Structure 1
Amino acid sequence: MTAAEDLDMEGPTDAVHVWYMDLDELSSRPHRHLESALGPDERARRAAYPEARSRARFTAAHGVLRLLLGRFLDIPAAQVRMRCGPMGKPALLPGAPPVHFNLSHAGGHAVAAVSVGREVGVDLDRPREGFPLESFARRYFPPSESDLVLRAPREERMRVFLTLWTRKEALVKAAGSGIALGVGQPVGGTEDSVVVTAAQHRLRGTWRIRALSPPFGVGAVALAHSRPFRVIAHGWAANEGA
């Protein structure tokens, strides 16, 4: 499958491709093709992880992302050139095709998102045992959102909290900002698709956010502008790209 066939490389599209990855499954097999896809900056970042499992997960997630970008750009993965924005969001170099991408991971799972012509942010999170979500929501979320969390049945509160949290993360990542700005930004209720207009400097603009249905945890993806978009979901097989 060539994902670029579903996208118009000449202008904005109303689709985003997302790939779900089981990082531990990918790491359990020989992954020389993932290793060779990494660039020098990624190799340096990976070396900072003290644990072998963390380094292996990093190789899997970032290697897959580079292989995906290589498909969209029709070049070898190792030749994909990136730069980081002021808040660390990676992007292609100026003058490259308008391919936007983002990556998120939670433990042994990850999701990559790629779109054309619209900035994208994606987030994946998982339930956390013992996390004080009620007090966190009460302190940091807007009142309408903290009420959503606190009024939900106890067994549903973590899901509601993560639905709102992943939206905020996806939004700030699409904007190339940090979660400190986004935690207080209203992101609507719990419906599957919302339009958010943000006035804060580094979030300013209109964004459409959609819920994802990952095989693990809770996820959301945000694209610039209010137009609806399709989510085209894929899984990444352990031997794919080898």
Structure 2
Amino acid sequence: MSVIERQLLACDMLAWQTCCFIPLQFCNRKLLYFKVAYCRQKLSIRQCSMSSPSFPLPKNQVHVWLSSITKPIVEKFFQLLSLEEKMKCKELLSLENRDTFIVGRGVMRTAISKYLTNFQPKDWSFATLEGGKPVLRINNPSIPRISFSLSHTKELCALAVCCDGEIGIDIENKNRKVKSYLDIARKYLSDTELSWLLRQPSDLQRESFLSIWTLKESLVKATGEGIAKGSLKSFELDTEALDKRLQSCRKVVVGKYSRSMFHFILLENIDPVFIAVSISYPQVEKVLCLDIEGNCLGTEAIPIGNQ
């Protein structure tokens, strides 16, 4: 029996739950492209100590926290979970789903405490919006509002954080084998986006599909709607900007969200994944990728073709 299984047996009693939902806000959208110079170092939490660096609230910035999903990290983060979360683990029959849930909650708890240093990672309580977006349960108006979004692959967990805005993140493995991705594209992409995809060289089509998919999914995660309710086909990205590596931002988004403002950020130099972020900021000054101890992974992201 593993360490976590033994502890889950000890938690098989009761769970508590309270609710406090944070209202969503919406603002205009602009498409940006960022490249990140990424240090190919192993992502780990080592001791996961709260003596590691604290951070000012990320105003006009995007912070992307990354953690690998490995057995030592899962066991370390499990210690931070609430009783309610530990009971949730018992309901997850898939070991992979359980591990990603534990690391996701651990990353959220640890990262948020980097900004709000008067609180320990164990202090936080979370609720989940209808579309699946996690929010803090807080009843204290003096606590600054932090927005965050979570995504993961089998090996990597990513948390995007901003202050006083709405944010969404999606992460996809570039090497992911997507069966019938053209059928998925016909179901979820607009006619313009689908035409753009079909124009791509055949050896690049799958990767092109994943890049546009992550950008679109990040938006519906930022609004809190999620794929099921948000309908990825109800809006489209500027495919001309995609062709020019997003250096031209003439129309950006048309359709459902055309009157609101979001920046789109595509981080594609973090091998082997695409990471897309949507954020309701009129301006993004800086994008940082960090490991869970707060170490910067390479250099700051540099905008290309920022208008």
Q: TM-score, normalised by structure 1?
A: 0.82
Secondary structure, in 3 states, of the residue corresponding to 1:206?
A: coil
Aligned-pair identity (%): 25
* Farther off after superposition, 115-124 or 54-63: 54-63
1:145 aligned residue (193, 201, 223): 193
* AA in 2 matched with 1:115: C
CA shift, 1:39, in A, is 2.3
Gaps of at least 5 residues in structure 2 are 1-51, 294-307
Secondary structure of the equivalent of 1:54?
helix
Correspondence for 2:277: 221
When structure 1 is superposed on structure 2, of 50-59 and 99-108 the one drifting more is 50-59
What is the deviation of 1:31? 5.3
Amino acid at match of 2:120: P
Is structure 2 residue 252 aligned with structure 1 residue 186? no
Counterpart check, 1:88 vs 2:139:
no
Q: What stretches of structure 1 of length at least 5 have no aligned partner? A: 238-242
Name the SS for the 2:105 alignment partner. Answer: helix
**2:93 equivalent to 1:50:** yes
The alpha-carbon deviation at position 236 of structure 1 amounts to 3.7
Contact 1:167 1:209 in 2 (8 A): yes
Aligned partner of 1:2 in structure 2 is: 53
- Match of residue 208, structure 1, among 236, 247, 263: 263
| Whole-Å separation in 2 of the counterparts to 1:60 and 1:199 | 34
Separation in 2 of the partners of 1:160 and 1:112?
23
Write the letter of the residue equivalent to 1:14: N
1:204 deviation in Å?
A: 7.2
Q: 1:86 Cα deviation (Å)?
A: 3.1
**Cα separation, partners in 2 of 1:186 and 1:60, compared to 1, 3 Å:** same
- Amino acid corresponding to residue 256 of structure 2 in structure 1: A
Matched, 1:22 2:68: yes
> Which protein shows a greater Rg?
2
Query: Normalised by the size of structure 2, how large is the TM-score?
Result: 0.66
For residues 86-131 of structure 1, the C-alpha deviation after alignment (integer angstroms, 9 at most, x for no partner) is 3232112253311111110111211111111111110001243252
Which deviates the most, 164-173 or 92-101? Answer: 92-101
Rounded Cα–Cα distance in structure 2 between residues aligned with 1:183 and 1:146: 12
- 5 Å matches for 1:120-131? 120-126=167-173, 127-131=175-179
- Higher helix fraction: Structure 1 or Structure 2? 1
By relative contact order (CA 8 Å, sep 6+), the higher-ranking structure is: 2
Separation in 2 of the partners of 1:192 and 1:44? 44
- Counterpart for residue 26 of structure 2: none
| 1:188 aligned partner, one-letter code | D
Does the aligned pair in 1 maintain the 2:169–2:276 contact within 8 Å? yes
